[in-house]
Amino acid sequence: MNRKWMGSFLIILLLTFGIWMFFNSPFSTSQQALPAEVKTDGTSILDIGNQKAGDRPVKTFSLTAQEKEWQINEDKQVEAWTYNGTVPGEPLRVTEGDFVNVHLKNELSVPVTIHWHGMILPNQMDGVPGLTQDAVQPGESFTYEFIANDAGTYWYHSHQHSSKQVDKGLYGSLIIEEKDPAYQQEQTYMLDEWAVDQEKQSFTNMGGMMMGSMSGDGEADTKQMYDTLTVNGKSGKAIEPLQMETGETARLRFVNAGYQQHRLVFPEGSIEVIAADGEEVVTDEPSANMLEIAPGERIDVAFTRQGEEAEVIGEDPTTEYDRGMKIPVVSEEKADSFSYDQLSVSSASSQETGTSNGSEELLFKQTPESDVTYHMDLSMGMDMGEGMSFQINNKVFPDTPLIPVSEGDVVKVRITNSGRLNHPMHLHGHRFQVASKDGQAYENPIVKDLIHVKPGEEYTVYFKADNKGEWLFHCHDNNHADRGMVTIVDYQGVYSPFKLDGEHNNQP
């Protein structure tokens, strides 16, 4: 045996053992292709909650899932999967109260779906293959219909094999406008990251992943996997400048469609956070100039143009990770004459997150008594031969314990993170009230559908079980979800007629 080979073998062996000791977690059960223990009695989810247009205005869209060579900038091109040929997919805009009808056609060679992230809608419209529908096969179609009740920033994405499909570009924005919009100007920015210059590192590249996650940076795995950051599908100089005159204010809607958090720095004094996850927030203090946005999260700001010279909104340079995420802000007059390279992102003075401000409308006036309580512990483990696994209560989906609820219950979920990576946990079909962090009650609680739980943190959230069905609760770093970090809010008295895997290859 050659010595060099022996050497690497030993290193890998030691590394693997060390890592195993480090996580000190049992080998996780191997992922089985078994459906979760969802009941099969009661009413089918297909027989509940149907919505009709009635006399609402109907907005109809067609989205075709198709392959497209997508130009990220002058020198970077990817084989993208898109809705209607662009990344992000066609932006959908409707007005509150509209009845929305979306015709999905699948022209890809793999099955797809559409999930309406943040929308409170009938369970059968939620787009989760194997739970709320069968994945839409190549050549087939599916129509989604729902009422767009609450104005705000939402987004849509495939929920079939999400770790891959959202990565490849199957996402877009869904904006529900107020009947009487408060801002005349607005823009939507969808943030994402790509592996262009390198093959996407997989979790089977254990050495690197594990080493990364031990670094104490909760985003280490994602940073290793991807090399190019995009804003609305473009990177670096290809990002379209925001055209505004000094003193003007616009509503900027940020959606993080990727799997890593971003810290966007704005010119000092230019922003006020106005909504998080589609819910309006109350601010009493002037906002910070850095905004941290978790994967899957939406944050809206009112942005006021400060100086006369070109300005920039960009990824915090101290993270040494800007990799092309800079949005120039210029006046019409200077639109063709500014120099991108000279736009330097200001230093961050203080930071806001999705939980920095309380919500204007709460679900509960005060911390309620709960009918159901669930402790959700997030951890990491290893699957020998498969790399890392991401667990809820030491299990990987579909073996994770369900959250059993009855209609009308107040459900309390205490989420703890005992691993080393960040986990943005997202609940489908409901909003929850974040009541406390690390045991400390929020003075101004916030209503969201995603909470970013970092290593060592603990959050308590409450929601009202008022939307019967089978709903996912999962990590929105879809690479983690893919490796197990998913569970289901399972209502009494209803069942899903769908199955994981099977002939439709349902992979939520």
Please, what is the angle between helix 3-23 and helix 206-213, to 10°? 40
Q: How far is the CB of 41 from ligand C2O (least distance, A)?
A: 26
Which is closer to Cu ion, CB of 423 or CB of 464?
423
Under the binding rule (CB under 6 A), the answer on residue 296 touching ligand C2O is yes
Using CB under 6 A, which of 428, 431, 468, 504 touches ligand C2O? 428
Residue 472 touches which of ligand C2O, Cu ion, none (Cβ within 5-8 Å per kind): ligand C2O
| CA dist., res. 15 & res. 362, Å (int) | 48
Q: From 150-158, 255-263, 264-272, 421-429, give the range in contact with Cu ion by CB under 5 A.
A: 421-429
Other Cβ atoms less than 10 A from the Cβ of 438: the count is 10
Using CB under 5 A, which of 262, 423, 428, 430 touches Cu ion? 423
Rg from Cα positions in the chain: 22
Under the binding rule (CB under 5 A), the answer on residue 475 touching Cu ion is yes
**Segment (H or E) for 432:** strand 432-437
Under the binding rule (CB under 5 A), the answer on residue 480 touching Cu ion is yes
Which is closer to Cu ion, CB of 467 or CB of 507?
507
Q: How far is the CB of 378 from Cu ion (least distance, A)?
A: 7
Residue 474 touches which of Cu ion, ligand C2O, none (Cβ within 5-8 Å per kind): ligand C2O
| CA dist., res. 134 & res. 151, Å (int) | 29
Under the binding rule (CB under 6 A), the answer on residue 298 touching ligand C2O is no
Which is closer to Cu ion, CB of 218 or CB of 324?
218
Strands 185-194 and 249-256: parallel
324: left (phi over 0), alpha (psi -120 to 50) or beta: left
Q: How far is the CB of 296 from ligand C2O (least distance, A)?
A: 5
Which is closer to Cu ion, CB of 152 or CB of 484?
484
Using CB under 6 A, which of 157, 168, 305, 448 touches ligand C2O? 157
Which is closer to Cu ion, CB of 262 or CB of 423?
423
Within 158-177, the residues that bind ligand C2O by CB under 6 A are 159
Q: Which residue's beta carbon is nearest to the bound ligand C2O?
A: 117
Would you state the structure tokens that stand for residue 33, as one six-digit string?
């292709």
Cβ density class 400-435: b for 16+ within 10 Å, e for less? bbbbbbeeebbbbbbbbbebbbbbbbbbbbbbbbbb
Q: How far is the CB of 417 from Cu ion (least distance, A)?
A: 9
| CA dist., res. 31 & res. 398, Å (int) | 8
Cβ proximity of 470 and 400 under 8 Å:
no
Q: How far is the CB of 30 from Cu ion (least distance, A)?
A: 20
Q: From 192-200, 354-362, 435-443, 471-479, give the range in contact with ligand C2O by CB under 6 A.
A: 471-479
User: 382: number of CA atoms within 13 Å, CB side?
Assistant: 23
Residue 423 touches which of Cu ion, ligand C2O, none (Cβ within 5-8 Å per kind): Cu ion
Under the binding rule (CB under 5 A), the answer on residue 477 touching Cu ion is yes
Q: How far is the CB of 259 from Cu ion (least distance, A)?
A: 8
Q: How far is the CB of 426 from Cu ion (least distance, A)?
A: 10
| CA dist., res. 88 & res. 240, Å (int) | 14
Residue 262 touches which of Cu ion, ligand C2O, none (Cβ within 5-8 Å per kind): none
Strands 242-243 and 271-276: unpaired
| CA dist., res. 268 & res. 271, Å (int) | 8
- Sign (positive/negative) of CA torsion 419, 215, 320, 259? negative
Other Cβ atoms less than 10 A from the Cβ of 460: the count is 24
Under the binding rule (CB under 5 A), the answer on residue 251 touching Cu ion is no
* Positions in the binding site for ligand C2O (CB under 6 A): 115, 117, 157, 159, 296, 426, 428, 472, 474, 476
* Positions in the binding site for Cu ion (CB under 5 A): 423, 475, 477, 480
